Structures are given as C-alpha cells and as structure tokens.
C-alpha cells in the first residue's frame, strides 16, 4: 500500500489492481471501503473492456475468446514504478497468460497525483507491438460514500452536472449488455439538482450517458451543499449504486468504452466505443476527483 499526503488530503493506493483504497480529508473517509455485503471493491480500473461482452465471449480475427465483466487488470498485481509524497505510478505489461484471453500486447500505466483538495487519476496505454494495432477500452469505477446516509430514510442527496438540459441515457437490456437504440431522457429539475433516493437505481441499474454529454458530475449532501466532484473528458459516463440493496454509496464512472450491445457478435475492433493504437502509439487521459 502506498500513501500520498498533503496539507488537505491523505490518499492510499494498492499495488493489486493499482486500485485507489482511501481518500480522507481529516478523519472523514470519502471512498467506499468495499463491504462485500453491498459491493466488495472500492475503485477498480476497468481494462481492457468496460462492462460485459455478449455471452462473455468476443472475437478477434475470427478467433473466439472469453472475458469476464470489466476485464482482468483490476485483479492483477501491478509493478510500482515510482513514488513521491504526492504522486505514485504503477505498470502492468501483457504476458503469455493475458495473451490467451486478450490477444494484444500492451503496457498499461496508472498514476495518482495529489494536489490541494484534488486527486488526478492518470491512465497511459501504449502499444509495444511492431506490427499489430491495439484495440482496448478503459474506464473508472470509483465508489463514494453518500455523505448523509441513513438506512432508515429514503433521501440520499443530489447530483448536478455541467449540463442540465437535453440529457439522454441508455440502459442495460440483458446479460449486462445495452439497448443502444432506445434513449431515455434524464430529467433534471429547474434547480439543476437530480435527486438521489434509496430506490433510484432499482429499476434502471445504471444511468449511462454517452457521446460526451457531460464533463463534470458533483455529488451533493441532502442540504444541497457540494460534497465532491469528478471532472473528465471521457465520452461515456456510468452512474451506479447496487439496485435494491439500500447501499451507502454511489459510483461515478468515466469510461472510454462501454458494454456490448445486446446480441453483438461482431469483431472486437468494431464494437461500440473501442479505442485503437497503431504500433508504437500511446493513449493518455486523466480524470480528477475534487473534495469540496
């Protein structure tokens, strides 16, 4: 476990999955602590897929492979590359074992940088192959405590976005895959605050906003004051809390990718929201968690 610290925040990260483990401001913990009664993870990085492939199978150049939800990086040991008081970096490199389920060479680096009341989460993906394109998805899945959680009440707070009109979401259809054609309006009240309640996710499971509709999401307390925010340039965002469990947390998830369309049986390179790197190319991105 590595610890980053400044005058405002203390952050901990584990080498297993290069996963964020804690964000504290004083004695207050903001990051969900992984109780398996609700959801046993905290902030896994999703790679090389986001969500599910149809029937847990996908095809590359006519060869079929199996891959579980969200890929394998979150369950692997990363190498610690560098560490300072305010920044830490990890690396995962393709192996013979990863090639059996994902037939691409890759170098994945994940870094965390602390500044003021914010944490930058940095992703770098490189294609070390001399002659083959790399296709991949990558995404975040951080979970944050509801600041005023009370299991005996229904209110959980509010969300606001940097856009409040004309938002449309898509939904899971079956087997973890989406109906990409049907769009549902996400109605935001005139005050700009989308109310969160104990049953918000019971019928819809995940709110998915794609096509870069938003670039910032803020979680508010029940008294409407800001608690924390995420800013990002990812084209797809998922918002989730375990349905029907009265869970104490919500996930705000920037994604470069998403699950398959229900019934998709095409080539992996042609799936929705896939990223491509030519030999020697590199992908870089950052999203920021800011504590109010």
Q: Which residues contact 201 (CB under 8 A, 6 or more apart)?
A: 207, 240, 241, 242, 243
In the block, tokens 């470069």 appear at 256
Burial category of 26 from C-beta neighbours within 10 Å (exposed 0-12, middle 13-18, buried 19 and up):
exposed
Q: pLDDT value at position 254?
A: 98
Q: Which residues contact 149 (CB under 8 A, 6 or more apart)?
A: 156, 248, 249
Tell how far CA 106 is from the center of its chain. 20
Q: Residue 63 CB: number of other CB atoms within 10 A?
A: 8
- pTM assigned to the model: 0.97
Q: pLDDT value at position 210?
A: 97
| 268 conformational bin, left if phi > 0, alpha if psi -120 to 50, beta if neither | alpha
Q: pLDDT value at position 278?
A: 98
Q: pLDDT value at position 267?
A: 97
* Dist. CA 40–CA 32, nearest whole Å: 9
* Dist. CA 88–CA 97, nearest whole Å: 26
Q: Which residues contact 242 (CB under 8 A, 6 or more apart)?
A: 38, 39, 201
Stretches in the chain below the pLDDT threshold 50 = none
* Dist. CA 20–CA 288, nearest whole Å: 13
Q: pLDDT value at position 257?
A: 98
């Amino acid at each position: 476990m590595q610890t980053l610290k400044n005058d405002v925040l203390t952050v901990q990260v584990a080498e297993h999955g290069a996963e964020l483990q804690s964000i504290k401001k004083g004695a207050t913990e903001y990051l969900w602590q992984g109780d398996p009664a609700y959801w046993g993870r905290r902030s896994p990085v999703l790679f090389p897929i986001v969500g599910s492939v149809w029937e847990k199978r996908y095809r590359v150049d006519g060869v079929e492979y199996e891959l579980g939800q969200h890929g394998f990086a979150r369950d692997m040991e990363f190498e610690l590359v560098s560490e300072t008081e305010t920044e830490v970096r990890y690396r995962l490199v393709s192996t013979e074992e990863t090639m059996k389920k994902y037939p691409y060479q890759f170098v994945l680096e994940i870094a965390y940088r602390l500044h003021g009341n914010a944490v930058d989460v940095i992703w770098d993906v490189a294609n070390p192959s001399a002659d083959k394109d790399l296709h991949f998805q990558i995404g975040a899945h951080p979970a944050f405590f509801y600041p005023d959680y009370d299991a005996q009440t229904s209110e959980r707070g509010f969300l606001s976005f940097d856009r409040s009109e004309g938002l449309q979401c898509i939904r899971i259809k079956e087997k973890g895959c989406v109906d990409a054609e049907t769009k549902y309006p996400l109605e935001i009240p005139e005050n700009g605050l989308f109310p969160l309640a104990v049953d918000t996710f019971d019928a819809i499971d995940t709110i998915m906003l794609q096509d870069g509709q938003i670039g910032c999401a803020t979680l508010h307390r029940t008294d409407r004051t800001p608690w924390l925010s995420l800013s990002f340039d990812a084209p797809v965002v998922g918002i989730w809390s375990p349905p029907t469990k009265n869970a104490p947390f919500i996930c705000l998830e920037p994604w470069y990718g998403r699950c398959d369309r229900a019934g998709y049986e095409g080539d992996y390179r042609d799936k929705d929201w896939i990223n491509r790197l030519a030999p020697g190319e590199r992908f870089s991105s950052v999203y920021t968690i800011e504590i109010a």
